Structure 1
Amino acid sequence: MLFNKLLPTAAAAGLMALSAQAYALPNVFNDTIANGISQFDSTVVAAGGSVGTAQIVAGTSVYNYTDLNGNPATVTITRPNGSAASFGSAYTSNGITTTGDVININPGIGLDQPGDIPGFGSGVTFTFSSAVNALGFEIGDWATCCTTGTRPADVQSDFGVPATGSGLWIAFDGGNAFLTANALSANDNPGVVAANSFTNFIGAIDDTSTFTSVTFFGDGFGEFLVAGGTLRFSAVPEGSVSNPIPEPGTLVLAGLALVGLGLSRRKQ
């Protein structure tokens, strides 16, 4: 049974006061590929972690790496229901190409289970044999269209998210789902703003604990949407990066008020 614990979207500083001791927000990254990688890596290193990587190769679902303790570890790529993911070659937009091949998302509701946020089932799950709490990767074809869809009222209220938009969601260990980015037009994609390219880097650090699986999905139904390039991941010390102040280029859904600070569970 899957429980999704409420994590509200982050807002621009000053919209609502929130004690760092009272509530810990994930650190979210959404920028161009180059800037996002730089920000993610520097945040992990500053927190006392080191960055592991796995370059995606189409058709390969299991990748080997060495964890922070020097032990052999693996990351396995599947759909959220455990079925095989679909891969494609590296994604290119206006001359900018992902640093590796990609996993096809194609947001839809056909694989959803009762209680899922719409689109969850068509996402991709990364399962780590050695627990992590930081993950980032490259995105292609986000906000090319499909930014006017309306989310169910219960998703809006339970997760404190806007009624419309093409969203990018991340869930740690099948719960703790949060909206990392929301596009109301192509100009909400930082790659488009910087270079007229539908490429960007998305990542999140939830330093409240460590996790063995992370699921990424989109709800811009009708987009192709791919994720991959080179996975970047780490396990940073708990509490080392909580409640960050967004830096330029780091989109934490600026302009949205923090809502729904109580915990809510939605059962599958």
Structure 2
Amino acid sequence: MRNLAIACVAACSALAFSGAANATIVTVFDSIPGGTSDFNSTVTTAGGTPLSEQLLYGDSTYADFSLSKTPYYTYTQTTGYLTDIGPAGTVKGPTGDSRPSGVTLTFTTAINSFGFEVGDWGTCCYPSALYIAFDGGAPIQVGLSTGLNNVYLTNGQPAVFVAAFDDSGSFNTVEFWGDGFGEVLYAGGTVRYALLDQGSLPGIPEPSTWAMMIAGFGLAGSALRRRRPAALLAA
């Protein structure tokens, strides 16, 4: 079950300010092999270089980043050690109170593309969502489970790869957490990351293109309105 989603953000700003830079958010949700492929292809298509680091037992400091929680666990089909980030709180949703129970990665060099593996997720406590946030910003939902089939269909195990890209800028911290209160949740494996040029992901057309699209939609709507009475009479 492959899901590579492209979300256009700040569209109103692009329309209002002709000089505004493009900003695109892309998310990946897939099996670990498929998600890894999605991540790498998204980065290379945008002109970047995908980097990776496998998490090791008891090691929270790496060449390019450090983790707020130490990896001590292994799970079926993940490619490295995982940290325990079992969701804590009572309020579900992106603005709920589960965020502090997650893990934060601090990078020595700025990035705007990040992904890694999740094990033993989506087996209870529905709905259960996964979120990524760059530099303490707005949560980006990268996974949602409303039943066992949402996760097991990816690879026969509740182990998935998730990622988020935000080419509006560059960032030094990444948070990852879930809100399936009462379930077990582990994350880590192999961390994948990259820095893309601002506006390098496809998504929001240039303001002039938006204007033409809106004008086109308006003309199409007018044409439909003109045709509708004739169609009703013919019926």
What band does the TM-score fall into relative to the shorter chain? 0.7 to 0.9
**Which runs of no fewer than 5 residues in structure 1 stay unpaired?**
1-9, 65-73, 79-84, 148-164, 245-268
2:32 paired residue number = 33
Q: C-alpha separation between the residues in 2 aligned to 1:76 and 1:132?
A: 14
Match of 2:87 among 91, 102, 107: 107
CA deviation vs aligned residue, 1:90-144 (integer Å, no higher than 9, x gap): 211xxxx21101111111039x9xx963210100001001000000101111111
- Residue pair 1:172, 1:213 contacting (<8 A) in 2 also: yes
Partner of 1:63, secondary structure, is: coil
1:11 to 1:44, Cα distance in 2 relative to 1, 3 A? closer
Shift of 1:25: 4.1
Shift of 1:26: 1.1
1:142 paired residue number = 121
Q: C-alpha separation between the residues in 1 aligned to 2:154 and 2:174?
A: 28
Give the ranges of 4+ consecutive aligned residues of structure 1 lying more than 6 Å apart after TM superposition.
10-13
Partner of 2:79, secondary structure, is: coil
Q: Which amino acid aligns with 1:34?
A: P
Partner of 1:202, secondary structure, is: strand
Instruction: Kindly indicate whether residue 150 of structure 2 is the aligned counterpart of residue 188 of structure 1.
Output: yes
Q: C-alpha separation between the residues in 2 aligned to 1:47 and 1:20?
A: 23
2:112 paired residue number = 133
2:71 paired residue number = 87
CA deviation vs aligned residue, 1:199-222 (integer Å, no higher than 9, x gap): 100000011000000000000011
1:194 to 1:182, Cα distance in 2 relative to 1, 3 A? closer
Q: Which amino acid aligns with 2:175?
A: T
Instruction: Kindly indicate whether residue 169 of structure 2 is the aligned counterpart of residue 209 of structure 1.
Output: yes
Shift of 1:20: 9.7
Percent of matched pairs sharing the same residue: 38
CA deviation vs aligned residue, 1:152-204 (integer Å, no higher than 9, x gap): xxxxxxxxxxxxx1000111101121222211112122xx1143211100000
Q: C-alpha separation between the residues in 2 aligned to 1:19 and 1:142?
A: 36
Q: Which amino acid aligns with 2:130?
A: L
Q: C-alpha separation between the residues in 2 aligned to 1:194 and 1:223?
A: 19
**Which runs of no fewer than 5 residues in structure 2 stay unpaired?**
16-21, 205-235
Partner of 2:196, secondary structure, is: coil
Q: C-alpha separation between the residues in 2 aligned to 1:222 and 1:76?
A: 27
Q: C-alpha separation between the residues in 2 aligned to 1:12 and 1:131?
A: 22
TM-score by length of 1: 0.65
Q: C-alpha separation between the residues in 2 aligned to 1:200 and 1:211?
A: 24
Partner of 1:197, secondary structure, is: coil
5 Å matches for 1:229-248? 229-243=189-203
Which structure's relative contact order is higher, taking Cα pairs within 8 Å and 6+ residues apart? Answer: 1
1:90 to 1:47, Cα distance in 2 relative to 1, 3 A? same
